[in-house]
Structure 1
């Protein structure tokens, strides 16, 4: 089976309500606030060390029984800059996409370089969603 590196769109930053332990590498996040600064419309986003996805994308991954991933609630906020530049954008609902699989083994994993790695099965699902701004390469 083929595997792919996926570098999702970065549409924001970790908000003030993010709770993170920086005593380990990568840092461990126990509560996530994703603060949007902009958004090009992709349904899979990142802000190191976390990933978020739309609820419809999460539902498709769950229905496809993808391994190595689970979903938790995420606090979504919009920066003043976002509100000023994108007054007509209504953000969809998002989940925190928690990757706990092994890269190159499970459908979702994180490589030693901390990059997201997905299987061919997961990529088939991903291609049904808006991921126009993600960089995708073959995982060795």
Structure 2
């Protein structure tokens, strides 16, 4: 089975209320606050060391039987400048954004994180993600032997 390293769009950053366990690397997110300031429509988002999905993508993932992730709630703040981009992408409102908490091992589970915190997904997971909008996500083949 082939795995892929994904680099999703970064439309914001983790917020001040995010709680991190910095005793491990990458830091483990205990509570996620996410601030969006420039969303351009993708369903998969990143703000190191966390990943987010829209409610649409959550729905696709939930019935997929994929391993290595949990969907959790996050505190999401949408800045005014992000609201200004909605008409440019043909939207009138924002979807619900949820935390994609990755729990799996890269190259083994459908979702995993490398030692550097990169997102790695299986072919099956990528197929599901592509049913959403991930146009701004860079997709590279994952080399399990080097972890890159």
TM-score w.r.t. structure 2 length? 0.87
How many Å apart are 1:120 and its aligned residue?
0.4
1:117 to 120, 134, 140: 120
The whole-number CA distance in structure 1 between the counterparts of 2:39 and 2:94 is: 9
Which residue does 1:57 correspond to in 2? 57
Which deviates more, 112-121 or 20-29? 20-29
Which residue does 2:66 correspond to in 1? 66
Secondary structure of 1:121's match? helix
Which residue does 1:133 correspond to in 2? 136
Displaced runs of 4 or more, over 6 A = none
Which residue does 1:23 correspond to in 2? 23
How many Å apart are 1:87 and its aligned residue?
6.7
Which residue does 2:6 correspond to in 1? 6
- Is 1:96 equivalent to 2:99 in the alignment? yes
Stretches of structure 2 lacking an aligned partner (at least 5 in a row) = 144-148
TM-score w.r.t. structure 1 length? 0.92
Matched residue count: 139
The whole-number CA distance in structure 1 between the counterparts of 2:29 and 2:6 is: 21
The whole-number CA distance in structure 2 between the counterparts of 1:55 and 1:79 is: 19
Task: Kindly provide the CA deviation profile for residues 94-136 of structure 1, in whole angstroms up to 9, marking residues without a partner as x.
Answer: 1100001010000000112321000000011111110000000
How many Å apart are 1:86 and its aligned residue?
3.4
The whole-number CA distance in structure 2 between the counterparts of 1:127 and 1:67 is: 17
Superposed CA RMSD = 1.5
